[in-house]
Structure formats: structure tokens, C-alpha cells
Amino acid sequence: MLKFIDEKGGVAKLSDMHDYSERKYFIGHRRFSDLMETLLEDALIDYDHGSGEASLTEAGRTLGNTKMPPRKRSGS
């Protein structure tokens, strides 16, 4: 989600984020709400209730652009 916001110029509408997470990851409303709460609590995004937009913080941009190690495959 952080990468998605970054690709939108660092700011994205909550509705666009919800649609993206639903289409790409099949995340339903409750799990999306949990994700948003975590991103806010961890200071990775700021949220403007008036505009309905989330903005990346510097910490969010850094984490969103960090290469993640490959997942171990089951049985490996």
C-alpha cells in the first residue's frame, strides 16, 4: 500500500486505496481498516479526514521503497 501511495505522488484518496487493495489483494473492508489503523499508528501515513487523502510520511516512503527479502517457499 505504501508503494501504491508513493506511485500516486505520495498522496492517494482513501477510496482509491480501498479499491486497489480489494482488487490486488482481495482485502475486504475490515482488513483494510485494520491496515489503515496500523499505518497511522506506525506513523507511515498521515490522513486528512476532510479531503479523504492519505499522505506518505518520510518513514512510509522509506519503508515502501525498501526491498523485501524473498519469501521462503514451503518445503524449502
11-24 pLDDT, tens per residue? 999 999 989 888 88
Q: Label the pairing between strands 45-48 and 11-13.
A: unpaired
Note the pLDDT of residue 73: 78
Find out if CATH 1.10.10.10 is the number for domain 2-64.
Answer: yes
Q: How far apart are CA 1 and CA 65, in angstroms?
A: 11
Using a cut of 0.75, tell me whether the model's pTM lies above it.
Answer: no
Question: What residue segments make up the domains of the chain, in order of their start?
Answer: 2-64
35-74 pLDDT, tens per residue? 899 999 999 999 999 999 999 999 999 998 888 788 787 7
pLDDT at 76 over 60: no
Note the pLDDT of residue 60: 94
